[in-house]
Amino acid sequence: MRENLNDTAVELNEEFLKELLQLDHIEEFRENFFTLHEYDQAQFYEKVGPDIRQKIYQFLSPQEMALIFEALEIEDDEYEAYLNEMETSYAAGMLSYMNTDDAVDVLNELDEDHRDSFLEMMDSETVEEFHELLAYAEYTAGAIMTTEYVSILENSTVRSAMAVLRKEAPNAETIYYVFVVDDDHRLTGVLSLRDLIISNEDTIIKEIMKERVVFAKVTDDQESVAQLIKDYNFLALPVVSENNELVGIITVDDIIDVIEEEASDDYSKLAGISDVDDVDVNPFRAARKRLPWLIMLLFLGTLTASLMSRFEATLDQVALLALFIPLISGTSGNSGTQALAVAVRGIATGEIDGKNKFKLLIREICTGLITGIVCGIVVVGIIYFWQHSLIIGLLVGAAICCSIVVATIAGSFIPLLIHKLGVDPAVASGPFITTLNDITSILIYLGLATTLISQIS
C-alpha cells in the first residue's frame, strides 16, 4: 500500500511540474524541481515530451542540466536525439560541465561531424581531456575512467595535502581516496580521507601512505577492472599508463554500469541475440537483430533432420521410438544448459582458473553420471508402466543417461575451450550447445535402437 501511495505522489508531483512549465512559472518550477533527487529529476526529464523538454532547457542552465543528463538511463543510441533538441551551444556547455567520463560516453555515440561541432565550442583544456579519453579503445579501463581525481606529491605534508584537497574537491568525482605521485606523476601510493584527517599536519605524506596500490592499466578490459573493484571492495581504482603514470580513476558507479552492461551482453549471447531489446524498440529492428542467429541455427537444425533420415528404416519398424525423441533431446538440452550456466558464470566471476578447470570438468562428469543414471531409472519405470515394454524403457533410459552425460561434459568443456581461445564463452553457448545436444542425443538414441532393433521389433 505504501508503495502505491508513493507512486501516486510521484505522479501528482510530475503533473504539477508539467503545469508549472506550461504556465512559465520559472521560479516555482525550479523551487519544486530541485527538491527532487537527481535520479527523479532525470526520470521526469525522460518521461515528458520534446515540447516540455524545450521549457526545461529554458529554465535550467547547462551546468544544472549536466547533472540530470548524467543520471539518465537511456539506450546509447538515444543520446543523439536528446542532444538534437538543444541548441548546439547549450548542449556543448552541458557536456563540458559533465564528468569527463560521462561526457565522453555520450560523445562516443555521435558521428564525427556532430561530435566536432560540440568540441569546437568548448575551451581547449576540456577538449584536450576529451580527446585523451576518446583515443582509448572501447571497453577498456582508459575508455571508462575519469580524469577528475585528487593527487598529491609524496614529499608534501599533510597540511599542504589538505589544502590541495580543499581546492580540488569541488571538481573531483570522489575524494575518499587521495592518490600519491612522485615528481614524474608516477603512482607511488594511496591515502584515504580518514588517513589525512587523523594525521599530524606536519607529517610527510610518504610516511603514512600505503605503498602497495592495486591499479589497472589503461588497456585492461573493463570486465577485469570490474572484478578488481568487486574483489577489493574499492570505491575507486587508479588507472596508470604503460609508464606507471597516473592518468585517471574508475569509480564504483561506473563499474555498476559495466557489470549491468556485461550481464546484459552475456544474457543476450546465451539467448542467441546480439543484445537484449528494449520494450520500445521497433519490431523490425528487433527482428533484424535476431534473424541472423535464427537463420544460422536453422541451418544447424537441418543437421538434426538429416541425421534422423538416416534412421528412417529403424523408425519405420518401431514407430513408438519417435514418441520419445523430444523427451531425450529436451532432457539432454536442459542438462547441458545447467552445466553451461555453471561454467560461464565461473569464468565471468573469475572463480575458474587454471587448476579449477580440471576440477570443474571432473565434477560435471560425475554430476552427469549421477543425474543421468537417476533420470534413466525414472524413465524406465514410467515407460514400463505406460507402454508395458521393458526393452523400450531400458533403451530410452540408457539413451537419456548417455545423452545427459555427454551434454553435461559439452556444456562445461566447450565454454572453457572457447575462453582458452580468447573468445567470449557466451558467444558459442546457449543455442549452439542446445543444437549440438540435439544431434548427439538423437545419434545416441537411434544408434542404440538400430543396434537393438531385433530385440524391440
pLDDT at residue number 263: 64
Q: Could you identify the residue written with the cell 514400463?
A: 384
Most distant CA atoms of the chain, gap in Å: 95
Given a cut of 80, is residue 384 above it in pLDDT?
A: yes
* Residue partners of 280: CB distance under 8 A and separation at least 6: none
Cell numbers found for residue 12: 501528482
d(CA 107, CA 132): 13
Residues 117 and 252 in one domain: no
Residues 255 and 301 in one domain: no
Region of 423 please: left (phi>0), alpha (psi -120 to 50) or beta.
Answer: beta
Residue 99 belongs to some domain of the structure: yes
Residues 320 and 448 in one domain: yes
For CA atoms 206, 208, 214, 216, the dihedral sign is negative
d(CA 439, CA 406): 11
Residues 162 and 99 in one domain: no
Residue 312 belongs to some domain of the structure: yes
Domain count, the chain: 3
Domain termination site, one of 135, 170, 204 = 135
Mean pLDDT, rounded, for 384-390:
86
| Phi and psi, residue 187, nearest 5° | -70, 125
Residue 283 belongs to some domain of the structure: no
d(CA 314, CA 327): 18
The answer to whether residues 17 and 44 touch, using CB atoms and an 8 Å cutoff, is yes
Mean pLDDT, rounded, for 302-308:
71
Residues 295 and 375 in one domain: yes
Domain termination site, one of 100, 135, 170 = 135
Residue 88: CATH number of its domain: 1.25.60.10
pLDDT at residue number 301: 67
- Domain range for 66 is 2-135
Domain termination site, one of 89, 110, 135 = 135
Mean pLDDT, rounded, for 242-260:
88
Residue 111 belongs to some domain of the structure: yes
Residues 68 and 127 in one domain: yes
Mean pLDDT, rounded, for 375-380:
92
The answer to whether residues 235 and 194 touch, using CB atoms and an 8 Å cutoff, is no
Q: Among residues 106, 99, 118, which one has the least CA distance to residue 78?
A: 106
Residue 279 belongs to some domain of the structure: no
Residue 270 belongs to some domain of the structure: no
pLDDT at residue number 272: 52
The answer to whether residues 106 and 79 touch, using CB atoms and an 8 Å cutoff, is yes
Given a cut of 80, is residue 288 above it in pLDDT?
A: no
Residues 234 and 307 in one domain: no
Residues 92 and 210 in one domain: no
pLDDT at residue number 88: 93
pLDDT at residue number 250: 94
Residues 39 and 79 in one domain: yes
The answer to whether residues 56 and 63 touch, using CB atoms and an 8 Å cutoff, is no
Given a cut of 60, is residue 273 above it in pLDDT?
A: no
Residue 422 belongs to some domain of the structure: yes
Region of 213 please: left (phi>0), alpha (psi -120 to 50) or beta.
Answer: beta
pLDDT confidence band for 255 (50 / 70 / 90): confident
Residue 229: CATH number of its domain: 3.10.580.10
d(CA 222, CA 349): 13
Helix axes 88-97, 112-119, angle to 10 degrees: 80
Residues 201 and 315 in one domain: no
* Residue partners of 114: CB distance under 8 A and separation at least 6: 80, 83
Cell numbers found for residue 209: 601512505
Q: Among residues 98, 96, 134, 92, which one has the least CA distance to residue 114?
A: 92
Residues 106 and 156 in one domain: no
| Phi and psi, residue 183, nearest 5° | -65, -20
pLDDT at residue number 8: 46
Residue 452: CATH number of its domain: 1.10.357.20
Q: 89-131 pLDDT, tens per residue?
A: 999 999 999 988 889 989 988 988 899 999 999 999 889 989 8
Residues 196 and 124 in one domain: no
Running DSSP on this structure, what letter comes out for residue 147? S
Winning range, highest mean pLDDT, from 97-111, 281-295, 329-343: 97-111
Residue 193 belongs to some domain of the structure: yes
The answer to whether residues 105 and 75 touch, using CB atoms and an 8 Å cutoff, is no
